Structure formats: structure tokens, C-alpha cells
Amino acid sequence: MLKENISFASIQNKILVNIGSQIITSYELKNRVKTILVLNNKELNQENINNVKSEALNFLINFKLKKEEIIKYKIIANDKAVLKHLDSIASNYNTDKNGLETLFKNNGLSYELFLDGIKTEFAWQNLIFSLYQDKIKLNEKEIDEELNQILAKQKQTEEYNLAEIEVILENNVNDKKKIEEIVDQINEIGFKDTAIKYSTSLSALEGGKLGWISSQALSNIVLNRVKEMKPGDVSKPIFQSETATFIKLLDKRKISFNDINLKKMKSQIISQKKNELLNLFSNSYLSKIKNTTLIQYNE
């Protein structure tokens, strides 16, 4: 395994990990660590490097596993989805996609590797959808009936502004340690920085932000936690299949149904439910290929 006290200045570019036919180099690890720190406005010092190195390596391992699968199945990312995500990240730094690219260049970071990571993630989502699309079909008639029942019983609904930290579990003794470490980090450096450091979700580089979501679009297990929380509260880990998820309630509000586009609400409910199923299948598939792929760490 890699030693946490190794300084980046002292290592030459070499192969750190072999993952099937893929490799992780010291340059890639250095770039990923620096990317996390720069985008999080953290000083590039040895303490901060050591704090994020382990999670950066885990990210790269998952990235290489996904990369191998999308190459095998010849899947590509949706360019519009990639550009939309880049615009969302850029807006956090009060710039656009070109400004984001300049930010990388000015800090000696590889924008190409960053972009490849995003494209690989969206291609991976396309792969999961293609493999499991028959299992994520929703009954829209039932959703319509659900909305009609809500309209008949109440005049208002609640929306929640949420952020998340999602981690993939290994189903061994390391899981408890990881959960405890995340709880400690949330208390020490805050939810946003912990999301950037640990979360495996696409929302990670945005500090875990999910935005406003209606109560009807949330799963029962998440809604039951969130509706008991106050703004600023962080939930205990929510365990689902291969993952543990921490939810932070940023804000909440009451919305009159007269002010809501019901077609938009229905679309949000469908999208949220599909995303939950896709995440479930994605994490399960990733765990499966990780368990069947030779991962060799080099000293």
C-alpha cells in the first residue's frame, strides 16, 4: 500500500496500481489530489495532501474499473449532459467552462484528466441504464394517482434543499471505520469539504449539493429522516444495499400546489425514483467487478 507520508515532490511518475488492463500512475494521483485541494480552496501542503490521498486513490480505482467497462461495451457519454455538469461546477467559481479550464491551467492541473473523469462517469451511467433499463421502468399511472391523492388531501407540500455524501461499502470491517471517519470529518472540516473528499456521487465536487427536491420525489427512508431535521442538521448514515448516505438539510419551504407546475413535479418524481434505482444497480455492479478484477498495489 502507499505510504501516507510520501511527498509528491519526491516521487517520479511511476505505476502505483494495476487494475485489470488499466493502471494508475503517480502523476494521476498527484493531479487528482491537487484538483480536490484547488477546487476546495485548500492550501497545497503535506497535511492536506495526506488527508485526501487515500480517497483520491479510491476514486481513481473506481474510475479505472468504470473506464475498462465502458471501453469493453463501447459506451460514450452524452455531450450535452457533460457540458451541463461542467457549467454547474464552473458556476461555483463564478465562471464558465472556459474559465474553469483556465483555472486548471493556472494551477498546473490537467483539465483533460478532469474532463475524462466526468465523461467516464456519464458513460458509466449510460452503461448501467443499458444493462438495467428493463428494471427501472416506472408506472406513470400510479404516479398520477399518487399526485391526485395528495392534491385531494392537502393544499401545500414541502420542498427540501439537500446535500449528500454517498460512499460505497465494502461489506467488511472497514465499513465501520469509514463511517466513523466521515462523521469525524463532518464535525472537523464541514459537510461540503467532506463530500468533496469522500463522496462517490457526481455531486461530490459541488460539495454534495442536490438542490431543491419535493417531498414526493424522495424515497420513504430519506423523507422520514429529513422531515424530522432542522436546517443545518446532518442525518445519521442511511444504509441501502451497497452504500451509506449522509443527508444534510440546507433549507426547507412550504409550497402551495397553486404555485407548482404539476407536470414539472411529476417529472421530478420520475427522475428521482429512476436515479435511486440506477444508483442501486450502479453500486452493485461496481462492487461486482471490483471483486472479480485483479487489483495489484505496487510499492
Mean pLDDT by 10 residues, the chain (299 residues): 44 86 95 91 90 90 96 95 92 92 96 96 96 88 82 80 92 88 94 90 87 89 94 95 92 79 80 88 93 91
| Residue 98 sits in the same domain as residue 166 | no
> b/e for 29-41, b at 16 or more Cβ within 10 A?
bbbbbbbbbbbbe
Establish if 3 belongs to a structural domain. no
Length of the chain: 299
Note the pLDDT of residue 187: 95
Structural domains counted in the chain: 2
Q: Give residue 246's region: left, alpha or beta (phi > 0; psi -120 to 50).
A: beta
What would the grid cell of residue 260 be? 407548482
| Residue 20 sits in the same domain as residue 99 | yes
| Residue 106 sits in the same domain as residue 187 | no
CATH code of the domain containing 91: 1.10.4030.10
| Residue 152 sits in the same domain as residue 278 | yes
- Give the CA-trace dihedral at 120, 125, 126, 132, to 10 degrees: 140
| Residue 24 sits in the same domain as residue 162 | no
| Residue 62 sits in the same domain as residue 21 | yes
| Residue 120 sits in the same domain as residue 160 | no
Alpha carbon of 53 to those of 62, 218, 243: distances in Å? 14, 33, 21
Cα atoms found within 13 Å of the Cα of residue 147, Cβ hemisphere only? 20
| Residue 70 sits in the same domain as residue 114 | yes
What would the grid cell of residue 121 be? 462517469
Please give the single-letter amino acid code of residue 261.
N
The range of the structural domain enclosing residue 65 comes to 8-133
Radius of gyration of the chain (CA): 20
Alpha carbon of 66 to those of 21, 123, 152, 245, 277: distances in Å? 12, 9, 46, 21, 18
Note the pLDDT of residue 197: 85
| Residue 125 sits in the same domain as residue 189 | no
| Residue 269 sits in the same domain as residue 145 | yes
Report the distance separating Cα 239 and Cα 244, nearest Å: 5
Nearest to 85 by CA among 128, 51, 38, 117: 117
Alpha carbon of 100 to those of 97, 103, 108, 110, 192: distances in Å? 5, 5, 13, 11, 19
| Residue 89 sits in the same domain as residue 232 | no
> b/e for 84-96, b at 16 or more Cβ within 10 A?
ebbeebbeeeeee
Question: What is the pTM for the complete model shown?
Answer: 0.82
Q: What is the pLDDT of residues 207-216, one digit of tens each?
A: 899 999 988 8
Establish if 106 belongs to a structural domain. yes
Q: What is the pLDDT of residues 98-123, one digit of tens each?
A: 999 999 999 999 999 999 999 999 99
**Rounded (10°) angle between helices 191-198 and 46-73:** 50
Note the pLDDT of residue 261: 66
